[in-house]
Structure 1
Amino acid sequence: MTMAASITDDGEHLSAELAAALRAGPFDRALDLAIRRRGLSLEAVQRRVALRGATVSQATLSYWRRGGRRPDGDRSLRAVRALEDSLGLPRAALERLLTPVRPRSPEDTAAGLANALDLSPAAIESCDGIDLVGNNRLSLMSLHQHVHIGPDRTERLVRTEIVATARVNGVDRWVSFFHPQDGEGHQPTVVGTRCCRPARARTDPDSELLAVELRFDYPLRSGETYVYSFDIGYEGPPPATDYSQYGLRTPARQLVLQVSFDPAQVPVRCYRYYKSPAGLSSIDGELPLGPSMTTHIAIPDAPPGVHGIRWEWE
């Protein structure tokens, strides 16, 4: 594993992902990674905080870790400082993430989103009028993407089901970014929705990246959960494919990627892969494909990056 240059107070090297989160936030991601690095339960974290003279409940820690709430007030800040000490973090490493930061430039936003989607920044910048950072107002509790492959080896339908929690008041939309594997007239489009409806949409003519705002039935309050789903199909010919992937910009409490094949055309093998935001790639072992002609990966506490399933036809 590539390690960052910064170190904790006790001399241990921070992981690259945790170091990046401590630099750029958000607070909930940095806290989650710090707890996972120590391998502690919330009960153990609560005990360590109490030993340092601060008080915080396990429920509050869970909300902070998921992004459902943010620490606010003197009592919470004392708990955050105790958390830093309990988790072996530098002083103020978490606390400074609670202060307002300068807005990112459009270039920074495009570059970050392009990296998560494995696209060029130019493709993202073509989505004029789309709120590129709006999805950051939601924390992902669960995301399930189910891809249906036809008998001609083409991607026929992609269904995405999401359970999310509002991080602030007034959240009323999710922006879906979707692109086929080549820009050859496939014309991706939203063909079905549940508990949301398509609104403003943009398509990059070169990559055929589709960016579409999906409006919720009502605005959410901070901490409120919402369940919604949508289907992506094609107005033009569906693309032939040998992989399916999902790019996460922020962590998801659970990520499930599922691929179903037509019995008339079954791959000889399937395997999973992952590319981190830092560009590090890994390929894991072969995935099973049962009589249902379906394979999947399920990732608890999925980190940002590109998660995918690849298969070989012959």
Structure 2
Amino acid sequence: MTERNDDHGGAFAAALRAAISERGITLARLQRRLVDDGNPVSMATLSYWRSGARQPEGAQSLSVVEGLEDHLGMNRGQLTSLLGPSARLGPLAPPRLPFDEVRELRETAETLTALRAATQDALRDLSTQVTAFVGRDGAVESITMRSLVQATKGAIAEIPLIDVAPVETDVMSEISDVIGGRVDREYLHPGGLLSGVVIALDEPITTGATTLFEFTERFPAGYPPRQSVWHATSRPARETLIWVRFHPDAPPTWCEEYCETSDEYVTAMRSVAHGAVHVAKHGFGPGVLGIRWGYDE
């Protein structure tokens, strides 16, 4: 499976979404039927295929696609014909999920080391509110994040933040308008996928104390277009809220929320009402909560 952004990849995803919608079947039920047929595939993989972020590659994936055609009442070849010739060249790059691959775990540790920042095992995420503004081109222009955190032991004077780019790049996102702290250090990993910053708090907190900070993340020219917003937390959080606001001239064709933990991967298609969509969870974590969207031609 590899990332695809060409016409074939978009046509495949659009046809798959339409077939699932017309059949009235959930992605979870479809996944169970495929597994029962001897076509093992994860919910995450199906979700990425449906969103168009990636498309099937290799013999095993093509077998799954044929199973999809059967269970969705489609003619054989109806989906596979939309994949393009590269799908028959065998496996290429592996799928990539936030904080779920060996490379990203390793590079996260390397980035924290370069930033001289320890992992935040003494920090509790009480409330995080993320507001994303999508531009006319359908990509995120800026993200404002407000977070209430608590020290569970010792003293905390700074907070590291890790960003995972959609694809490898030598351009970092920019953190500005920090309230409750300041950007003290930043680092772009040589691999081009991860970067990080350290926010030094205005006032260090000790066991039981809380602090509230806010910042805005912007994506300068050259940064790969981002059509997703997500928040990762390493322990249960009281409240996690993600709100995506679309440009009035760029409502998405489709929108999907996803929730990934060590035990499951759950997705749900969402409608965009009045130019915005949000997802809220209480007691969520550890895991990744996000919203992604796209545009059919």
CA contact (8 A) 1:146 1:259 kept: yes
SS across alignment from 2:99:
helix
What's the offset of the Cα at 1:184?
3.1
Q: Which amino acid aligns with 2:271?
A: P
Q: Distance in 1 between the 2:102 and 2:289 partners?
A: 11
Change (3 A) 1:276 1:141: same
Q: Distance in 2 between matches of 1:134 and 1:122?
A: 13
Matched, 1:172 2:143: no
Given residue 200 of structure 1, which amino acid in structure 2 is its aligned partner? R
Q: Which amino acid aligns with 1:246?
A: H
Matches within 5 A, 1:147-186: 147-186=132-171
Determine whether 1:126 maps to 2:118: no
- C-alpha distance in 2 between matches for 1:253 and 1:297: 14
Q: What residue number does 1:263 align with?
A: 248
Distance across 2 between alignment mates of 1:162 and 1:189: 18
Structure 1 match to 2:38: none
Within 5 Å, give how 1:274-313 maps onto structure 2: 274-278=259-263, 280-284=264-268, 286-291=269-274, 293-313=275-295
Note if contact 1:272-1:283 (Cα within 8 Å) is conserved in structure 2.
Answer: yes
Kindly report which structure 2 residues correspond to 1:49-128, keeping only aligned pairs within 5 A, or say none.
115=99, 120-127=104-111, 128=113
In the alignment, is the contact (CA less than 8 A) between 1:242 and 1:311 conserved in 2?
Answer: yes
Equivalent position to 1:195, from 167, 180, 189: 180
Distance 1:147 1:181 in 2: 16
- Which residue number corresponds to residue 67 of structure 1? none
Contact kept, 8 Å, 1:118 with 1:247, in 2: the verdict is no
- The 8 Å contact of residues 130 and 211 in structure 1, kept in 2 or not, is answered as yes
Distance 1:191 1:166 in 2: 24
| Structure 1 residue 151 displacement after superposition | 0.5
Unaligned runs of 5+ in 1: 2-113
Aligned equivalent of 2:217 = 232
**What count of residue pairs does the alignment treat as equivalent?**
199
Query: What is the deviation of 1:197?
Result: 0.3
CA-based RMSD: 2.3
Q: What is the alpha-carbon distance in structure 2 between the residues aligned to residue 119 and residue 263 of structure 1?
A: 38
Query: Which consecutive unaligned segments of at least 5 residues does structure 2 have?
Result: 1-27, 29-97
Distance 1:257 1:177 in 2: 17
